[in-house]
Structure formats: C-alpha cells, structure tokens
C-alpha cells in the first residue's frame, strides 16, 4: 500500500472503477493472428456496453485508448501499445434473428455470423465466412471478400464515442468505400444490424463451403498471418504487382511473403513485428520501383517499436529453402 501523499506512476491506478477487468502489461502476442507484438500497458475488457460507456466518460483525456478485435488484420509493434487497449469480450457476442435481419455484437466472429445467418435461412451473408476477424473490425474497414462487403448488408449500428455517448448510425452515415469508412477514430462499435434475403439453408451452406474451399486452396490459412496485407489499387491486384516485383518468397528475419498468395505476409515461427513490418515496407518499395504503383497497407500497424536493432538480411527464398 502506498504511503499517504505518495502518487503512483502506474496508469492502472489512474483509471476509473469498472465492472469489467483490467490487466497490466498484458501480452498481446497471444491474441494476434501473427503471434507477435508487445504488451498493452493496460488491457480493459468491459463487462458490457454500459461499462464501456462509463469508462470512456470517466477517464481523463490524456490517457490514450486503442480498440482491438480478434487482431486478425492487425500488426502490433514489438514495443507494445501505451495507454489502455480495449478488447470486447463475451458480452458483445450475442446474435438475434428477426425475419431477414440479424443483429450481432461487435465481438462476434464473421464466421459465426455467417453460420447463424445460414441456420436462419438468411442469404447474402455467405461471404463473411471467408473473412477472418470480428464484426467490429469489419465495420471499421468495410471488410469484404468473395464479391461481398460489409457496407452492402449493413442497415444500422451502435457505437460508443470517446465521451462515452451511445450513438446509433445508419449504414449511409458510415461513408463506406473500398476497405474504408468515414467513422470517427474514437468510435467503439458495439452492435450492428444486417439484412439479407430469404434463402434455403442447404444452398447457403453450399455457397459457404465453396468459399471455404477456395480460401484454403489459395491462401495460407494454416500459417500465422494477418490476412491481405495491401489494398488492391484501382483496377489492379496487389498480389500481381507484388509478384511482378519479384517479391514472392521474399524473407526478412522470420517473416516471409507467402509463396501461396503473395499479398499475405507470414510468420515462419520466429518473426518479430519489426520483421513483418519491415518486410512489408520492402515489398512496397520494390513494387513502387518496378511498377510505379504505391501500395497502401490494408493491415493496421499500431503501437511503438521495440527500439533500434540490427537490420535482418533480406533474401530471396524459393522452393523448400
């Protein structure tokens, strides 16, 4: 116990009382799909949306807040994330069906939502089964794959802003475009309402099976990765530009450009976030030099570097090397 008059330098001692759970120096590498990254200074798992709103309302403005989902399309740097990292848990995983509509908490995985829609005979959400991650992350970036995207099926959503205010928005107010939204940075998505069309569960399941088969055949789904690394430039495919620049199989430390799909970076087992981000930047440099196209990251790179370190050797890798 601190003596009277002493002031704690620990962030956790400055945070408001919550009904959820705080964890200090929480290891985030265990939750990212890349299996890399430094710790959260404090990880907060709110008990529910009211707890989340109360926290955001009561915390002081000088405390930075970062929201993460299941971290399937996220690269957390090796120095970790200062401030409070919010991760929504079980209280944000409810699903409710109403006719051709379906409401899902932001913590629901895209696959679970697609499965629920299938079971309810709601067509139009099948593409979600091919997108790793959760509803919240998909809402933020207008996630899409296999001919569909979030903005096409979204009707409305609920957010909590940085002042702790709950706001309901329409899909139109999100300002969606390809892999982008105009949502305010301080929005924390909590729930969304989607609408499909009436369909046959057997036929829906067949379409989902086809998506899964195509995904497993073309993407390195059994390797630690972060999904599509770069946004497709207008009228072009990122993977084709990467291949054209000779980057398929390129390595940096424990990170590698996938041989199977070269718009994926993979952790070969001992990669650091520095390896992965550095490799991605090298790919961007080579593509720009070779094709004149500047690739934009689709993966979010957040947090702080671990500090200066020796540059790993970049080398070409082919076959079973």
Q: What is the C-alpha to C-alpha distance for residues 84 and 45, in angstroms, rounded to an integer?
A: 10
What residues contact residue 271 under an 8 Å CB cut-off, 6+ apart? Answer: 34, 36, 224, 253, 254, 255
* Residues carrying an active site annotation: 179, 228, 298
Q: Torsions phi, psi of 244, nearest 5?
A: -60, -35
Distance CA 262, CA 220 (A): 10
> Is the Cβ–Cβ distance between 43 and 23 less than 8 Å?
yes
Q: Report phi then psi at 277, rounded to 5.
A: -70, -40
Integer CA distances (angstroms), 247 to 71, 252, 254, 261, in order = 25, 11, 15, 11
Q: Report the candidate in 165, 112, 175, 104 with the shortest Cα–Cα distance to residue 140.
A: 175
Work out whether strand 95-98 and strand 101-105 pair parallel, antiparallel, or are unpaired: antiparallel
**Phi, psi at residue 164, to the nearest 5°?**
85, 15
Q: Positive or negative, the Cα torsion across 228, 32, 108, 86?
A: negative
CB 103 within 8 A of CB 193: yes
The answer to whether the CB of 114 falls within 8 A of the CB of 120 is: no
Q: Measure the CA dihedral 142/161/82/305, to 10°.
A: 20
Show the tokens assigned to 68: 């993460």
3-class DSSP assignment, residue 44: strand
Q: How many C-alpha atoms does 66 have within 13 Å on its Cβ side?
A: 21
């Amino acid at each position: 116990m601190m003596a009277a008059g002493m002031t704690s330098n620990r962030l956790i001692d400055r945070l408001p009382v919550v009904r959820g759970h705080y964890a200090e120096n929480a290891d985030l590498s265990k939750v990212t799909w890349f299996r890399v990254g430094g710790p959260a200074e404090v990880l907060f798992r709110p008990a529910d949306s009211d707890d989340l709103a109360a926290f955001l309302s009561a915390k002081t403005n000088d405390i930075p807040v970062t929201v993460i989902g299941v971290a399937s399309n996220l690269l957390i740097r090796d120095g970790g994330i200062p401030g409070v990292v919010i991760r929504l848990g079980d209280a944000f995983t409810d699903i409710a069906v109403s006719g051709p509509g379906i409401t899902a908490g932001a913590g629901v995985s895209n696959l679970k939502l697609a499965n629920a829609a299938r079971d309810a005979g709601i067509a139009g959400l099948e593409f979600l089964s091919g997108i790793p991650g959760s509803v919240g992350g998909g809402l933020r970036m207008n996630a899409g794959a296999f001919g569909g995207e979030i903005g096409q099926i979204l009707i409305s959503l609920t957010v909590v802003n940085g002042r702790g205010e709950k706001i309901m928005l329409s899909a139109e107010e999100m300002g969606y475009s390809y892999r982008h939204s105009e949502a305010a940075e301080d929005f924390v998505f909590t729930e969304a309402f989607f609408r499909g069309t009436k369909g046959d569960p057997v036929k829906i399941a067949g379409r989902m099976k086809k998506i899964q088969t195509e995904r497993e055949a073309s993407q390195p789904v059994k390797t630690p990765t972060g999904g599509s690394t770069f946004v497709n430039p207008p009228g072009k495919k990122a993977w084709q530009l990467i291949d054209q620049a000779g980057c398929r199989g390129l390595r940096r430390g424990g990170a590698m450009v996938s041989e199977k799909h070269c718009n994926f970076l993979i952790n070969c087992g001992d990669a650091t976030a520095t390896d992965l981000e550095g490799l991605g930047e090298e790919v961007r440099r080579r593509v720009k030099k070779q094709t004149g196209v500047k690739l934009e990251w689709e993966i979010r790179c957040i947090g702080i570097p671990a500090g200066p370190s020796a540059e790993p050797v970049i080398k070409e890798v082919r076959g079973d090397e």
